[in-house]
Amino acid sequence: MHLTEYVISVANKTFSKLPFNEVDALVFAQLSYYDYSVFEDGISFKEIKSHKNIFKATDLKNLRGENTDEKMFNLVVGSKRYEETRVKWHALTMEKKLATQFSATTFINKDLGIIAFRGTDGTVIGWHEDMNMTYQFPIPSQVLAQRYINDVLSKIDVKDIKVVGHSKGGNIATFAAVMAKPKYQKLISDVYNFDGPGFVEAFYDLDSYKRIKNRLHKFIPVQSSVGRMMLTLNDFKVINSDDSYVMQHWAHNWRIDGTHFEYAEGTDFFSESVEESTSNVIDALSVEERRDAVNTMFDILDKTGCEYMDDITLKLDKIRFCLKEYLGLKEKNANVKRFVTELFKPMIKAYYEKGKETAQVKFVTKKDEIVDKVKNIFKKDN
């Protein structure tokens, strides 16, 4: 089963009957993608269910439609398991100039507290900040996450505290937990990082990292690309997914077995080669060259006038425009151009995968039409 099916399967089981588990951690990581600014602070999911602004909470372009993200939200707010959960201290920061996309929300259910950090929301700004990780440490979202967790832990009053996040949210969840003040770090029982990028090598040498290391849990899909960015330690669990390549990053495709994920033996050649290829390119560049490459790429993306990455990666004219701009980068040195090439690869792959998916749908539709026509012919003959 997948995430929405899991929410349905546990709908009538409170946390006292079925304790919080790793799949619940992913549920709350996904819940961080919704807009809670349309509700009053402290509102429960049960109250949200009948709130006049419920549709505004899911009216975001980063969500994937009524059969996945919106469906899951509606199932959660109508579920006995989650209905008593209260939404607290929702935070959102978006700054284009500083390439900052940050959001966090705290969920409280009796003595259980979940601090959830939103991942990349599909905006060009969000992806820009992600790529800044290749030369900038810490990035703005990591700093904001550290402030947020210290603030929340200074006033929250629960016995069990989890920290969760998907994609960049997983990265900053880990960063925030590691960099939290020691007196607050002690309060955290577990940190769940779902396919989030890694860190610079020095981060893993910090005493604060070593203190919480045994409470950090990282999960990635078989063909992970995002979760293998930067330096990653081999201390993650690998989850089977029903999609391929970049679409494996989407958590709704991950397979679930009861209250746990369906695990694979390890990552495949695609994931390993992505990590090796990206690492080799990054290691060959100076910090200045990395900054130049990232800024060059996003200067090109900004020229498209698109706010969301999907508006670029799913449209052939936008892809062609970006490639034309890239081919015009004659003044850039070979290292910078090579890195820009690596940055553009996922975009081309996403367009290819979407095109393949559309073609398959058209084929199935056309096939069904032909079958129906043949059936009608036989009916007439009989």
- pTM (2 d.p.): 0.85
Q: Quick one: 305 and 269 in the same domain?
A: no
Is 374 inside a domain boundary? no
pLDDT at 41: 97
pLDDT digits (tens, 9 = 90+) for 133-187: 888 999 999 999 999 999 999 999 999 999 999 999 999 999 999 999 999 999 9
Is 339 inside a domain boundary? yes
pLDDT at 371: 45
Q: Quick one: 234 and 334 in the same domain?
A: no
Q: Quick one: 231 and 340 in the same domain?
A: no
Q: Quick one: 72 and 22 in the same domain?
A: yes
Is 381 inside a domain boundary? no
CATH number at residue 25: 3.40.50
Q: Quick one: 263 and 363 in the same domain?
A: no
Q: Please say whether the beta carbons of 230 and 133 come within 8 A.
A: yes
Torsion over CA: 107, 112, 113, 118 (sign):
negative
Is 378 inside a domain boundary? no
Q: Quick one: 289 and 153 in the same domain?
A: no
Angle at 152 between CA 148 and CA 153, to 5 degrees: 115
Is 382 inside a domain boundary? no
pLDDT at 160: 97
Is 377 inside a domain boundary? no
Q: Quick one: 236 and 269 in the same domain?
A: yes
Radius of gyration of the chain (CA): 22
Counting the structural domains of the chain, the total is: 2
Got the DSSP string for 200-215? -GGGGG-HHHHHHGGG
Domain end point (choices 239, 274, 309): 274
pLDDT digits (tens, 9 = 90+) for 295-318: 888 888 888 988 877 777 777 888
CA separation, residue 231 to residues 69, 146, 200, 245, 359 (Å) = 30, 20, 6, 20, 37
Give the whole-angstrom CA distance, residue 139 versus residue 98: 10
Is 380 inside a domain boundary? no
Which residues of the chain register pLDDT less than 70?
61-67, 269-271, 273-278, 345-382
Give the whole-angstrom CA distance, residue 340 versus residue 334: 10
Q: Quick one: 57 and 180 in the same domain?
A: yes
Q: Quick one: 315 and 200 in the same domain?
A: no
pLDDT at 337: 77
Give the CB-side neighbour count of residue 108, counting CA atoms within 13 A: 17
Range of the domain at 68: 3-274
Is 375 inside a domain boundary? no
Q: Quick one: 100 and 176 in the same domain?
A: yes
